[in-house]
Each structure stands twice: as structure tokens, then as C-alpha cells.
Amino acid sequence: MTAAKLPAECDTKDDVRAEIDRIDQALLNLFAERHGYVTRMAEIKTDPHEAFDPARIEAVIGKVRQLSLDLDLDEDQAELIWRTLINWNINYEKGIIAARKRAK
Ligand SMILES: C=C(O[C@@H]1C=C(C(=O)O)C=C[C@H]1O)C(=O)O
């Protein structure tokens, strides 16, 4: 494997795309790690209504927006990504909790 190149060290589209592919892999590894905790959360929560926790959601979004600003990233883009992720997680948690309750 070739060493990572800084953006300014990339001379071709292939150079840039190799770095984007490397970063996508790293991001997916982190999403997979995060997903493991969401699954665990679904095991801990006891009622499907608990899947949606608005106070926690707004706290996460607030943190993500601030971290994005600190990194000079677009905070609206980060919020959109996180809301999509969180909405998906809520339905995922609901499904797990409801199925467990039905099985009882
Ligand atoms: C993981 C949780 O469940 C949901 C998913 C969240 C997330 O993906 O960060 C945040 C809030 C929740 O409604 C939680 O309650 O913390």
C-alpha cells in the first residue's frame, strides 16, 4: 500500500481518488463502531418510544455543529448527515425493541 498523500501532494485525479477511497474506508470503520453502540442502546432501552430521544438528538446535533465550525467545515452539511444517520438509527432501534417485546 502506498503512503497517504496530503492534498497538495496529489497531482492527478487518481491520486486524489485514492485518498478519498482511503478516507471513506476509515469513515465506514468508524460508522461500524458507532453502529455497535446503537445496537447496544437498543438492547438497553425497554420501550420502542424510547428510541426517539429529542433532547439527546438536539445535544448531539449541537455538538456536531460546533465541532464542524471548529474544523472549518459546513455545519449545515454535518447536521444533515447526522440527522439522516440518527433518523435511521431511531427506526433501527424501534425495530429491535419492538421485536424483543413481541417475542416475550
Ligand atoms: C443512541 C440513541 O438513540 C437514538 C440515536 C441517536 C444517535 O444515533 O446518536 C441519538 C438519539 C436517539 O434518539 C440515544 O438515545 O442516545
61 lines ligand 1 (CB under 6 A): no
Per-residue pLDDT of 55-69, as tens digits, reads 999 999 999 999 999
Superfamily of domain 12-103: Chorismate mutase (1.20.59.10)
Contacts of 64 (CB under 8 A, 6+ apart): 75, 78, 79, 82
Q: Is 60 in the pocket of ligand 1 (CB under 6 A)?
A: yes
Ligand 1: does its nearest atom lie under 6 Å from the Cβ of 86? yes
Separation of CA 42 and ligand 1 centre (Å): 9
ipTM associated with this complex: 0.99
Grade residue 3 by pLDDT with cuts at 50, 70 and 90.
confident
Is residue 51 within 8 Å of 90, Cβ to Cβ? yes
Ranges of each domain in the chain: 12-103
Grid cell 444517520 — which residue?
85
Centre a 10 Å sphere on the Cβ of residue 97 and count the other Cβ atoms it contains: 21
Question: 13 pLDDT exceeds 80?
Answer: yes
